[in-house]
Amino acid sequence: MELRLAGVTDSRVLNALEAVPREVFVSDPFLEHAYDNRALPIECGQTISQPLVVGLMTQYLELGTRDKVMEVGTGSGYQAAVLSRVARRVYTVERHEPLLRQAEERFKRLGLTNMVTRHGDGMKGWPEQAPFTRILVTAAARQIPESLSDQLDDGGVMVLPVGDEDRQWVMRVRRQGHRLNTERLMAVRFVPLLGGLPPEHPAG
């Protein structure tokens, strides 16, 4: 997989992608495709994103070693693990509890200690830990959620897909004081960012 040729040029991001074994985050039936450059199904009807998209979104975030990052949409945990190899600390939130628990086990297995996880509605962000210098959303919002841009530090950057099922763009939002500057970066297709929590799984 030649991600450099495909536009990932930041050496910190390339090193992070190299350091995180994607096979640890892929569901068993898809193990043989772990290093294909494509999104794959995971539990709860969700997906692990395409490696190129993970690389580009991380690069768009302009991530440094001092950053305090919030990720909305832990999913398999792969993107969070990549972020954790560059940033100071990663706060990742997921609405499907089984996905979050599985991701936590994977972080432990890989010895990633600069991660904090939460089962909850990431549409609300993580007010107790705000502000964040970086925010990455890995599910598509209909529009830029104010609840998240409000939790961005001055000078901070948020990267997120915005749009409906048919048309989505990765946007970069930069906070400068009370102003938010937005840029449209690339066309993508993500599962939707949903408010609230899914119904509990029936016991037994």
Sign of CA dihedral 83, 84, 88, 94: positive
70, β-bridge pairs? 91, 135
Q: Does 94 bind ligand SAM (CB under 6 A)?
A: yes
Residue 49: active-site member: yes
Q: Which is nearer to ligand SAM, 7 or 195 (CB)?
A: 195
User: Which one of the listed residues 11, 27, 49, 147 is annotated catalytic?
Assistant: 49
56 binds ligand SAM (CB under 6 A): no
Q: Which residues sit opposite 69 in a β-bridge?
A: 90, 134
For residue 26 the two structure tokens come to 């892929």
Q: What does the alpha-carbon distance between residue 55 and residue 13 come to, in Å, rounded to a whole number? A: 7
**Minimum CB distance to ligand SAM smaller for 82 or for 157:** 82
Among 27, 37, 47, 129, indicate the residue that binds ligand SAM (CB under 6 A): 47
Is 191 near ligand SAM (CB under 6 A)? yes
Write each residue from 108 to 147 as x if it is in contact with ligand SAM (CB under 6 A), else as -, in one continuous string.
-------------xxx--------------xx--------
Q: Which of 64, 94, 67, 65 is nearest to 78 (CA)?
A: 94
The interface mask with ligand SAM, positions 64-83, x = CB under 6 A, is --------xx-xx-xx----
Helix axes 51-60, 11-19, angle to 10 degrees: 140
Question: What is the spatial distance between Cα 12 and Cα 26, in angstroms, rounded to a whole number?
Answer: 23
* Nearest approach, Cβ of residue 191 and ligand SAM (Å): 5
Query: Could you tell me the smallest distance in angstroms from the CB atom of residue 177 to ligand SAM?
Result: 27
State the maximum Cα–Cα separation within the chain, in Å, rounded to a whole number: 51
194 binds ligand SAM (CB under 6 A): yes
d(CA 22, CA 76): 10
Given the rule CB under 6 A, which residues bind ligand SAM?
A: 46-49, 72-73, 75-76, 78-79, 93-96, 99, 121-123, 138-139, 190-191, 193-195
